[in-house]
Amino acid sequence: MRRYLALELPSPVRNLKIKEDLDLQIRQRELFRLRAKLGPEVTLTIFQPVIEPEEGQLCAIFIAPGENHLVFRDEVAPTKLWDEWYREYRIRSLGRVADIESIEITEAEVIYHWCYSFANLYESGLHYSGRQDRTGVLYSSSWNHMLNNKPQVPILLRGGYRRLEPEIYYGDRDAAEEYARSL
């Protein structure tokens, strides 16, 4: 049984949230398709919350110059109805269930385009953009895989994080998209 700190959202609010989230995923995909492939080719160490369901675990990282594309098997929304609706919208609009979060990497920092976990509880999963020093480590801190270079206190209080060992591939966002559709 999953234990969440979330209540079911009224359907108009839930549907608006789902549409906004998917619009941001589409914007992120387009940004990385058009972005000049410049920067270091590095793989960061990824941690996910212990409370994350196995279906939402990171399964692959695609590396391209100055970017990483993290492919998570699924996103498991905080309530049953939200999860069912969100999965249906993802399949219809993105052609996949898997989640992809793409980050830009420079010599000194990581740039999060609509995938920064700034002020999130695990269940909130609000999309922010931001920059942090590159530490070599990323923490997924929400059900929809918002990222940060530091562990978040609410996750630490709920059991902490576990390190994942995903498959590593060389490829851009399009390669990550193709892989995600095959899951």
pLDDT above 90: percentage of residues in the chain: 76
What local confidence, expressed as pLDDT, does residue 86 receive? 87
Q: How confident is the model at residue 1 (pLDDT cuts 50, 70, 90)?
A: very low
Q: How confident is the model at residue 146 (pLDDT cuts 50, 70, 90)?
A: very high
- Tokens found for residue 61: 């990282």
DSSP string covering 96-140, please?
-SSEEEEEEE-SSEEEEEEEE-SS--TTT---EEEEEE--SEEEE
Q: Are 143 and 123 in contact (CB under 8 A)?
A: yes
What local confidence, expressed as pLDDT, does residue 5 receive? 56
Q: What is the pLDDT of residues 82-93, one digit of tens each?
A: 888 889 989 998
For residues 53-80, give the mean pLDDT. Answer: 95
For residues 112-140, give the mean pLDDT. Answer: 92
Q: Sketch the domain layout of the chain as residue ranges.
A: 11-182
Rounded Cα distance, 116 and 125, in Å: 9
Q: How confident is the model at residue 183 (pLDDT cuts 50, 70, 90)?
A: very high
Rounded Cα distance, 23 and 143, in Å: 17
Q: What is the mean pLDDT of the chain?
A: 91
Q: What is the pLDDT of residues 7-47, one digit of tens each?
A: 666 777 777 888 888 899 999 999 999 999 999 999 999 99
pTM given for the model: 0.92
What local confidence, expressed as pLDDT, does residue 10 receive? 72
* Choice among 16-25, 44-53, 142-151 with the minimum mean pLDDT: 16-25
Q: Does 6 score more than 90 pLDDT? A: no
Rounded Cα distance, 76 and 87, in Å: 8
